[in-house]
Structure 1
């Protein structure tokens, strides 16, 4: 077999295909068989199969808030919070002045140079939105609710990684309106990941804050319809070749790389419709490079822009970048109306996962 062909692995009929893409392998043996079909050397196949991580896929369906049990896994809707806990707010961004200046500049530019696609009326409307964002970044503001994940239920799946808690729920909130960049330390106020071990009987389904309803409409909304997780499915996830722990073979564009790239790409990406895009644990399906490296540097106070990568401090910190792990991957979802323009990755350092320091998680948005 010519290594430079993009191999499309073919599972047996009972394993199936969907929408021209192939599902993640259900077990390590299936993953190894499909890798063997690429013609990669046996030693590399064995190494990659051994490195693969278990994960749980979380398919969703359209739901009704009134019929979804308290504490159940779901995207969107209203969060189930312990009694007395308010809907999470983010404080003003530490660099609010810089952010406000950016939005005000965008507002001024729109009015001075209305784009042809918007016209004067559209430019005025978008300009008002930028002004509102300029004010919002300097004040407390509620975070959008992405979803909650029942760890006790997910832990019943063989693909659940025991590094995570097996009780309670993990809730993910994010500043969907501002969509903070992942590569600065200051952006971290723009998300909240909460591990709540409260008994289900003590949960209260929180009402959506008026401030979120006020910026939502039929065309765009940061209040998502509830999409309950149906039947979690265990899979084995292969290591992306841009993972900082990659050591299977050198990443020059050679025969091995071409074979693995074609094989890995056959699984699709989480910004595609018609596939199970939400995943708990395992290796991510990144849309760009830098998930671990940017998380490591930004979490330690470094802005990943400019020439910071060449500094001694950055080089020292990057030695620990392989320890950053995927907690949850949230992709396109027609039921929760999460658009197919990217995916969100909740990343944490292994030490913080083990110590249950979920407040140190980072939420990374990537798009093609």
Structure 2
């Protein structure tokens, strides 16, 4: 296969996101990482019942506020028109346990909210949200770009079998076309920078109730095969968050990992952000 010819039609638009100290207080509704989320009146802070890495008892724990984005600004960088054109898109995640997303019971460990049509103002942190999970406020710098898929996603999109030899030619073509693999990149939309394996099939199978913490022995092979290619079209990357560092602060997921918020395209277009699913991958 000539990957230099095949890759360009598979490309998708992305919105690259960099976080930096704001230098001043950000107005309500600004795109940002951390700080207090801007929410409408009556907002109920999301919680998730879980143990933590420290082995503490399972109990409802407030999710940490990760980031929010001004949809009007995103619309300027979203030529496909996938995201809302107005309002505020906000992301939360339970940092004490950092669930991976391979268990249906992980539902609720991460939440996405779309606030539209109501005034928003900074929320107070819940009293039981640990200080370490009250993240520092950083301004979001947004820019548009184009993404080529990773090898596994490209093969699934083409319903093409994986081969080790093809990967070598794929990687060469990707570099020649200018689609570099960044060391660190947070983004909305586009294709994910995969650390381990394709995630769309995982999202589809978990959504069907399968636990995928082992070797997927509970999933019939014929079902995996039937869902493999459609999953990469049905499930879209909504937000990828890489390590965030500023001054003495660093937020890392696992060992040099990333978290990925996925959503079915039909749910994205219908603004059903409550159906987003989180996956964590690391080295």
TM-score range normalised by the length of the shorter chain: 0.7 to 0.9
Q: Which runs of 5+ in 2 are unaligned?
A: none
Q: How does 1:237-256 map to 2 (within 5 A)?
A: 237-243=147-153, 245-247=156-158, 250-254=161-165, 256=166
Is structure 2 residue 273 aligned with structure 1 residue 358? yes
Aligned residue for 2:82?
163
Matched, 1:85 2:39: no
* Shift in CA distance, 246/314, structure 1 to aligned 2, threshold 3 Å: closer
Count of residue correspondences:
272
Contact 2:4 2:174 in 1 (8 A): no
Structure with higher helix content: 1
TM-score (norm 1): 0.68
Question: Matches of residues 1-368 of structure 1 in structure 2 within 5 Å?
Answer: 41=2, 44-63=3-22, 67-90=25-48, 92=49, 129-130=54-55, 132=56, 135=57, 137=58, 139-157=59-77, 159-199=78-118, 202-213=119-130, 216=131, 221-230=132-141, 232-243=142-153, 245-247=156-158, 250-254=161-165, 256-262=166-172, 264=174, 267-269=180-182, 272=183, 275=184, 277-304=185-212, 305-306=214-215, 307-318=217-228, 320-322=230-232, 323-335=234-246, 337-339=250-252, 341-368=256-283
Matched residue of 1:246: which SS? helix
* Kept after mapping to 1: 8 A contact 2:100/2:281: no
Task: Give the greater-gyration-radius structure (CA).
Answer: 1
Q: Gapped runs of 5+ residues in structure 1?
A: 1-39, 94-99, 104-125
CA RMSD, 1 decimal = 2.5
Structure with bigger strand share is 2
In the TM superposition, residue 316 of structure 1 has moved relative to its aligned partner by 4.6
2:106 match: secondary structure = helix
Task: Check whether the contact 2:252–2:258 (CA below 8 A) recurs between aligned residues.
Answer: no
The 2-side partners of 1:68 and 1:261 are apart by 41
